[in-house]
Amino acid sequence: MKGDSKFDIGSVIGITLGFIVLLIGFYDVTPVSKITADMPFQMYQNKVLLNPFGTIQFKTDDTPGKVLNGLGGNYANTINFFWDLKSIAIVLLGVLAATFVNLPLSAFGDIVNVTKVIFRNESYDYVGTIDRICERATKARKEGLLSLEKDLEMMKNPFFKKGIEIAINEKEVDRLRFLLDQEKDAIEDRHIAGAELYSCMAGYAPAFGMLGTVMGLVIMMNSFGGGEVEAGAAPQSTAEKFSGLLSGMAMALVTTFYGVFFANVFFTPMAGKLKRKDEMEMLHKNVIIEGVVSIKQNEHPLIIKEKLMTMVPPDVVLTLQDENREIAEN
């Protein structure tokens, strides 16, 4: 009845696709149809080109040509535009600072285990859980509720085990449901705290990305047109100043890029994954709660099964129907 833990390949695929999207954006495509193997280099509108051997080539005004061996395609030159440790530090450290202020320190205590949950695929055997509940209901109707005390050691699901223990010792059905709901809510609160941690990070990342960009723009604007010209040095023309300004502005915008990237590739999807995993587990626990209460009320196992099957996710019901259809056909 306990959820089977497997590695969630979907999370890895999603993050990998996110980086692939970045690589597609990094690649500066330039027509290379005229490049042949015997050409030492090829230029097109002063852009860096990829030759057939996967090397990066460029030409300057004074030299016949120069070849840089390294990353293939036009990635090397473009990636340098986006790689800025200062921007990464502003975003990540700013996100941590704001999250520390917003959430209690205890919220970070379990961040490693919370992150592991994202990459762990929990599958719940709803049908198997319902069958075991019906087995306990049948035994309770024949031998009494106290007879289930002998089965406690064999129960692997701690929530179901605790529910049966409370059912044996608690007289009132309403009190039993209240205690089980309270236990479920405590578990859900812990799950929500983990999702809230990543939700906060997702909200702050773009903001600190924009903050870093504004800081860069302020610095550039203050330096634009300012500064003393050294003796013997020719003053910069307006065009040169604007060229430097635009170049610096491009670097300043990199901080916004990292804020948006971390928010939408990591933090927001991780928060969403934790919320969906919580919904699946809470649904499984609701099935257990309703089953334990039904056992306490001494309901017939067939009625219990019919009632609990209405709580099962539709995809599980369809799979079960397909399996029953195949069995009937064979």
Q: What is the DSSP string of 136-188?
A: HHHHHHHH-GGGGGGGGGG---HHHHHHHHHHHH---HHHHHHHHHHHHHHHH
Residue 150 maps to a domain: yes
CA distance 251 to 24: 20
Residue 223 is assigned to a structural domain of this protein: yes
Q: What is the mean pLDDT of residues 290-314?
A: 91
Is 305 contained in some domain?
yes
Pick left, alpha or beta for residue 144 (phi over 0 → left; psi -120 to 50 → alpha; otherwise beta). Answer: left
Q: What is the pLDDT of residue 244?
A: 58
Q: Is residue 180 one of the residues assigned to a domain?
A: yes
Domain for residue 166, yes or no?
Answer: yes
* Pair 276, 107: CB distance under 8 Å: no
Calpha distance 43→20 (Å, rounded): 27
Residue 249, in any domain of the structure: yes
Burial class of residue 174 in the structure, from the number of CB atoms within 10 Å of its CB (0-12 exposed, 13-18 middle, 19+ buried): exposed
Supply angle C-alpha 90, 81, 94, rounded to 5: 10
225 pLDDT exceeds 50?
yes
Determine the residue type at 324: N
Domain residue limits at 298: 83-227+237-324
- Confidence class for position 85, pLDDT limits 50, 70, 90: confident
Tally of domains within the chain: 1
Strands (E), 3-109: 4-7, 49-50, 56-58, 66-68
Is pTM beyond 0.85? Reply is no
Residue 55 lies in a domain: no
Tokens 């649904």 label which residue? 283
Residue 192: the pLDDT is 86
Quick check: 230 pLDDT over 90?
A: no
CA distances from 153 to 157, 159, 170, 274 (A): 10, 13, 19, 31
Who has greater pLDDT, 138 or 26? 138
pLDDT, greater one: 229 or 115 = 115
Helices 268-296, 126-143: axis angle to 10 degrees equals: 20
Residue 6's DSSP bridge partners are 121
How many angstroms separate the CA atoms of 51 and 19, rounded? 24
Contacts of 306 (CB under 8 A, 6+ apart): none
Q: Based on the number of CB atoms within 10 Å of its own CB, is 113 exposed (0-12), middle (13-18) or buried (19 or more)?
A: exposed
Residue 8 in any domain: the answer is no
Question: How many residues belong to the chain?
Answer: 330
